[in-house]
Chains A and B, each alone.
Chain A
Amino acid sequence: MMTLTALLGAIELGTIYAVLALGVFLSFRTLNMPDLTVDGSIVTGMATAAVMCSAGINPYISLIGAFIAGACAGFMTGILHTRLKIQAILAGILVMLASYSINLRIMGKTPNIPLTKSETIYNMADKILPSKYSGIVIGLIVLAVIILLLYLFLQTRLGFVFRATGDNEDMVRAAGVSGDNMKLMGLAISNGLVGLAGGMLAQNQAFADISSGTGMMIIGLASVILGEVVFGTKTLLRRLISASLGAILYRVIISQALYLGMESSDLKLVSAVIVAAALYLGILGEKGAKIRKRRGQNGKSASNS
């Protein structure tokens, strides 16, 4: 088993990926849309937070900046999808591609911004808490605030129709609300959270890197699915917490696998395999449950005969 320090490190990173997972949860689960903007918007968040932090702006304000920057990326995807009628997945890829150039511009055309000399939420926390736990504590506080706000939002009138959009857009329209507007809003909030996670990540690792977005959507997805399987989906609050815990668990598993000798360069392959397997096993959604049930019945009748 890995060392305690490594475990704490994984959990600390997990609290950041949990914010990413919540973003992916909104697009993938609530809107029922695979959104690849994530791979771009997370870097947008990183870049924005890094530039703001190194300009001496309060690191918490920088996180809000990262949220807004990520939300803009999501909003663009929403415009491409709902107004120009481009397929959701393609719209996400287009914005992901475009955001590479934009992210570079935000970063002043350098592929890497170090934050070692800047104030971050993490080195601020180090001043009041023992540094071993400070990162986890601050990560959990940010995460808890986000879960609470998200939960409260999803219980509002607006939140209700937003949640119904992924289920049944016809019904949302019948209720006098434009499903397109809900998607637009959802993609913005979702990528806002992803951007925020990017901002936290940049502050945590003390640098922003232009190429660190690849595969983030899949990692978020893996976290959501892992959380659903391990921690359940019974209530809305439970689902939000499950997605977050899923992200933390995912980091812990990865860190243990690395400890056991997995090459870190194989990380993305492993993530892809995990998600592909989960998709195949039909853990995703209703259809999967039905297929599994049918398989179970077939299995039974086969063994009876």
Chain B
Amino acid sequence: MENLLQIHNITKIFGEGTINEKVAISDLTLKLQAGDFVTVIGNNGAGKSTLLNCIAGVFPLDRGDIILAGKNITKIPEYKRAKYIGRVFQDPLKGTAFDMSIEENLAIAAAKNKSRGLQPGLTKADRNDFREKLAMLEMGLEDKMTQKVKLLSGGQRQALTLFMAVIAEPKLLLLDEHTAALDPSAAEKVLALTEKFSKREDMCTMMITHNMKDALKYGNRTILMQSGRIAMDISGKEREDMTVEKLIEKFSIDNDRMLL
């Protein structure tokens, strides 16, 4: 079966030739199949966010190619790639326009693959569609669609951002510690939604987390990053047999945060 996402020998060096030179991603290769949900773990500075940024096109690569759904996207600018990629970050403020209403935010996200001209930004049909879909989040957002996003709680916002990331049916969903800023119950809710949305057959998901339990609980594959490389890649039986303790023991991850 064809891989949905192929990352071939990519390298990303920051500050090349300066004393601050940092090889953030080093000759990394990774292939994801449609339907894959990969959790990404690793110490601070291991290069997890950089990997996701490379895939999303935030900065140019030094070497290597990225192929998504059969299309080489290595040189495509970030905003154009975004048509096939949904992203959610740790900061709940990053994903929404705070001074616009929930429905307006959704309309912007939903129009990702449509032409953006002088068509009405929001039709009655859109509204009904959004109301129906928002109800799936079970956060009561469907009753406050005209409310400005800045009035929402962090958890509500992050759920909305996640929803906005998948509403236009991307090929790839990139999540960078998207529940790290939430309280435990909100985090759990957003993770449950993540799992639900990741079930789409023609998409794959990558989720960075510092929570080892979540890393094993969600998804079908886990990779561990160390200094810009993939140090471990487990799935199937091997992953089922993995425990948080064994993970920590095996890779001597001396990071207290990860035990939690």
Q: Tell whether, in the assembled complex, residue B120 and residue A157 are in contact, meaning their CB atoms are under 8 Å apart.
A: yes
A251 contacts partner chain B, Cβ-Cβ < 8 Å: no
B97 contacts partner chain A, Cβ-Cβ < 8 Å: yes
A179 CA / B104 CA spacing, docked (Å): 17
Q: Tell whether, in the assembled complex, residue B97 and residue A163 are in contact, meaning their CB atoms are under 8 Å apart.
A: yes
A158 contacts partner chain B, Cβ-Cβ < 8 Å: yes
Q: Tell whether, in the assembled complex, residue A160 and residue B79 are in contact, meaning their CB atoms are under 8 Å apart.
A: no
Which of A155, A158, A171, A286 interacts with B116 by CB under 8 Å?
A: A158
Minimum CB distance partner of B115 in chain A:
A157
A148 CA / B214 CA spacing, docked (Å): 51
Q: Which A133-163 residues have a C-beta within 8 angstroms of B?
A: 153, 155-161, 163
B186 contacts partner chain A, Cβ-Cβ < 8 Å: no
Q: Tell whether, in the assembled complex, residue B119 and residue A176 are in contact, meaning their CB atoms are under 8 Å apart.
A: no
Question: Given A155-B120, A155-B121, A160-B108 in contact, is the A171-B79 Cβ separation under 8 Å?
Answer: no
CB neighbours of A179 from chain B (8 A): 79
Q: Tell whether, in the assembled complex, residue A176 and residue B113 are in contact, meaning their CB atoms are under 8 Å apart.
A: yes
Stretch touching chain A among B6-14, B80-88, B191-199, B245-253: B80-88
Which of A156, A168, A172, A286 interacts with B118 by CB under 8 Å?
A: A156
Q: Which A173-198 residues have a C-beta within 8 angstroms of B?
A: 173-179
- Could you tell me how many residues of chain B have their Cβ less than 8 Å away from some Cβ of chain A? 35
Q: Tell whether, in the assembled complex, residue A157 and residue B117 are in contact, meaning their CB atoms are under 8 Å apart.
A: yes
A176 CA / B115 CA spacing, docked (Å): 10
CB neighbours of A153 from chain B (8 A): 118
Q: Tell whether, in the assembled complex, residue B98 and residue A157 are in contact, meaning their CB atoms are under 8 Å apart.
A: no
Q: Tell whether, in the assembled complex, residue A157 and residue B116 are in contact, meaning their CB atoms are under 8 Å apart.
A: yes
CB neighbours of B77 from chain A (8 A): 178
Question: Given A155-B120, A167-B98 in contact, is the A161-B78 Cβ separation under 8 Å?
Answer: no
The dominant DSSP class at the A interface is helix
- Could you tell me how many residues of chain A have their Cβ less than 8 Å away from some Cβ of chain B? 23
Q: Which B109-131 residues have a C-beta within 8 angstroms of A?
A: 109, 111-122
Q: Tell whether, in the assembled complex, residue B100 and residue A157 are in contact, meaning their CB atoms are under 8 Å apart.
A: no
Q: Which B59-78 residues have a C-beta within 8 angstroms of A?
A: 77-78
B99 contacts partner chain A, Cβ-Cβ < 8 Å: yes
Q: Tell whether, in the assembled complex, residue B100 and residue A163 are in contact, meaning their CB atoms are under 8 Å apart.
A: yes
Question: Given A174-B87, A178-B77 in contact, is the A157-B94 Cβ separation under 8 Å?
Answer: no
Minimum CB distance partner of A159 in chain B:
B121
Question: Given A167-B99, A167-B100, A168-B98 in contact, is the A175-B118 Cβ separation under 8 Å?
Answer: no
- Max count, chain B CB within 10 A of own CB: residue among A168, A172, A176: A176
Q: Tell whether, in the assembled complex, residue B119 and residue A156 are in contact, meaning their CB atoms are under 8 Å apart.
A: yes
A251 CA / B121 CA spacing, docked (Å): 35
Q: Tell whether, in the assembled complex, residue A157 and residue B111 are in contact, meaning their CB atoms are under 8 Å apart.
A: yes
A155 CA / B97 CA spacing, docked (Å): 15
A90 contacts partner chain B, Cβ-Cβ < 8 Å: no
Instruction: Tell me how far the C-beta of B121 lies from the nearest C-beta in chain A, rounded to whole angstroms.
Output: 4
CB neighbours of B94 from chain A (8 A): 168, 170-171
Q: Tell whether, in the assembled complex, residue A158 and residue B117 are in contact, meaning their CB atoms are under 8 Å apart.
A: yes
Minimum CB distance partner of B56 in chain A:
A174
Instruction: Tell me how far the C-beta of A183 lies from the nearest C-beta in chain B, rounded to whole angstroms.
Output: 13
Q: Tell whether, in the assembled complex, residue A168 and residue B96 are in contact, meaning their CB atoms are under 8 Å apart.
A: yes
Minimum CB distance partner of B57 in chain A:
A173
A106 contacts partner chain B, Cβ-Cβ < 8 Å: no
Q: Tell whether, in the assembled complex, residue B107 and residue A160 are in contact, meaning their CB atoms are under 8 Å apart.
A: yes
CB neighbours of B107 from chain A (8 A): 157, 160
Question: Given A173-B79, A176-B112, A178-B79 in contact, is the A157-B121 Cβ separation under 8 Å?
Answer: yes
CB neighbours of A177 from chain B (8 A): 79, 116
Binary A-proximity of B149-171 (CB < 8 A = 1, otherwise 0): 01000000000000001000000
A272 contacts partner chain B, Cβ-Cβ < 8 Å: no
Minimum CB distance partner of B107 in chain A:
A160
- Max count, chain B CB within 10 A of own CB: residue among A153, A158, A174, A178: A174
Q: Tell whether, in the assembled complex, residue B118 and residue A158 are in contact, meaning their CB atoms are under 8 Å apart.
A: yes
Which of A159, A167, A286 interacts with B97 by CB under 8 Å?
A: A167
CB neighbours of A275 from chain B (8 A): none
Instruction: Tell me how far the C-beta of B100 lies from the nearest C-beta in chain A, rounded to whole angstroms.
Output: 6
Instruction: Tell me how far the C-beta of A160 lies from the nearest C-beta in chain B, rounded to whole angstroms.
Output: 4
CB neighbours of B108 from chain A (8 A): 160-161, 164, 171-172, 175
B95 contacts partner chain A, Cβ-Cβ < 8 Å: yes
Instruction: Tell me how far the C-beta of A264 lies from the nearest C-beta in chain B, rounded to whole angstroms.
Output: 38
Q: Which residues of B contact A (CB under 8 A)?
A: 77-80, 82-83, 86-87, 93-100, 104-105, 107-109, 111-122, 150, 165
Q: Which residues of A contact B (CB under 8 A)?
A: 153, 155-161, 163-164, 167-168, 170-179, 286
Query: What are the 9 A-B residue pairs with the smallest beta carbon separation, nearest first?
Result: A164-B97, A167-B97, A160-B121, A176-B83, A173-B79, A176-B82, A157-B116, A156-B118, A178-B79
